[in-house]
Chain A
């Protein structure tokens, strides 16, 4: 149980180097991309579940209340995405998103575990890059991505940022 949580955190941590990656140019070249097998970095045991999203709710690290200044974080609601559950914690510095982490993740089967690993870090990057990539929406994966966005939105709502 706990083990899965740790590997997920490790997978997210392993992406830290990627966060500076610029989606830039018009497209990421596909022919040079890794084959499916070389993804993802961490492989939790199949069928494992994880992490009750222990839920401190909003934690103002500074300046709770009035204008959006300082570093604040909030945990979004936990959402089902068809095969499992996830929750997202978002951290703002002023009005800028500085950190997004998946803190609750539970999947019903090994297949969706794979999907979760591929999609969740991607979305984390997108949230952070959205401020420069400026897209209106994303097309592609379904369950996990929407649950992620849903939880993220609820976290942002808690921080009064729309």
Chain B
């Protein structure tokens, strides 16, 4: 079947669902996509630090206690603590200016939840892409691994690489949104240009990509030590480094 593409403006960006295979009727698939969309909007309303009335914003201002916030808030903050431990402090939602800020992790978490809505409804092959944070389920139409192009940080006409991905990939870098990343450790020198992390969970991949974008080469070994996760880093000087498990692909794909 031809892919069904559904796009949603949410979380300050555009999220696209690509459904390649499902056992659902057209109307059931539409209902599942509507439910996945509602899930994204719900999470945005809960966690946005741009919306003054979100529970997250109220928590940051001290107007809401954690125990009075929706249960997902504590869940996500626990995940932030876990990601902070795994990244040995390079991802630190609690070191952000303005109070605790799960932004570096919560988009991946929310995208993963939305994809799970589709999978639970009976979708067997799908990808969700939220501004370059990608989670996949099942097999892509061409079979084998999913193939994800990583944008070249400066060359407008090129990809830096094509990666083979099983489940999730996240890229963080200064060229995305300007200097939106905050370095909790205060490392000197320019940040890397592009930091990509692959792994089984987009939630952790998102947080680790933020960590690698902040810490550079120092964080590669940390990522490599986490089971199932790999990183590909383009430095501010154009140098490249990657952990051994990263799977680069021929850009022209399988024959």
Is B177 among interface residues, defined by CB-CB distance under 8 A?
Answer: yes
Is B41 among interface residues, defined by CB-CB distance under 8 A?
Answer: no
Contact A143-B160, Cβ < 8 Å, known A27-B251, A132-B252: no
The reply to whether B156 and A40 form a contact with Cβ atoms under 8 Å apart is yes
| Stretch of B10-18, B77-85, B116-124, B181-189 lying at the A interface | B10-18
How far is it, in angstroms, between the C-alpha of A145 and the C-alpha of B161 when the chains are bound? 17
The digit string for B117-138, where 1 denotes a CB below 8 A from any CB of A, is 0000000000101011110100
Kindly identify which residue among A23, A126, A138 contacts B132, using a CB–CB cutoff of 8 Å.
Answer: A138
User: What residues of chain A lie closer than 8 Å to B153, measured between beta carbons?
Assistant: 140
Is A36 among interface residues, defined by CB-CB distance under 8 A?
Answer: yes
The digit string for B170-209, where 1 denotes a CB below 8 A from any CB of A, is 1101011110000000000000001010000000000000
The reply to whether A35 and B154 form a contact with Cβ atoms under 8 Å apart is yes
The reply to whether B154 and A133 form a contact with Cβ atoms under 8 Å apart is no
The reply to whether B176 and A142 form a contact with Cβ atoms under 8 Å apart is yes
The reply to whether A136 and B148 form a contact with Cβ atoms under 8 Å apart is yes
CB closest residue in chain B, given A80: B9
Is A30 among interface residues, defined by CB-CB distance under 8 A?
Answer: yes
The digit string for A130-162, where 1 denotes a CB below 8 A from any CB of B, is 001111111111110111011001000000001
Min CB gap A77→B, angstroms: 11
The reply to whether A140 and B250 form a contact with Cβ atoms under 8 Å apart is no
How far is it, in angstroms, between the C-alpha of A152 and the C-alpha of B96 when the chains are bound? 36
Kindly identify which residue among B152, B177, B238, B251 contacts A24, using a CB–CB cutoff of 8 Å.
Answer: B251
Is A118 among interface residues, defined by CB-CB distance under 8 A?
Answer: yes
Q: How many residues of A contact B (CB 8 A)?
A: 50
Is A63 among interface residues, defined by CB-CB distance under 8 A?
Answer: no
The reply to whether B162 and A149 form a contact with Cβ atoms under 8 Å apart is no
Is A122 among interface residues, defined by CB-CB distance under 8 A?
Answer: yes
CB within 8 Å of A: which B231-255 residues: 234, 238-240, 248-254
Min CB gap B250→A, angstroms: 5
Q: A27-B162, A153-B5 are in contact. List 8 more A-B contacts (CB 8 A).
A: A25-B251, A135-B251, A136-B127, A137-B127, A143-B12, A150-B7, A162-B2, A162-B4
Pick the 8 closest A-B CB pairs, nearest first: A140-B151, A134-B253, A142-B131, A146-B14, A28-B158, A139-B171, A139-B132, A135-B149
Question: Would you mind naming 7 contact pairs between A and B with Cβ atoms under 8 Å apart?
Answer: A28-B158, A40-B156, A134-B252, A140-B175, A142-B13, A142-B177, A145-B131
| B-to-A contact residues, CB < 8 Å | 2-5, 7, 9, 12-16, 18, 127, 129, 131-134, 136, 140-142, 146-162, 169-171, 173, 175-178, 194, 196, 234, 238-240, 248-254
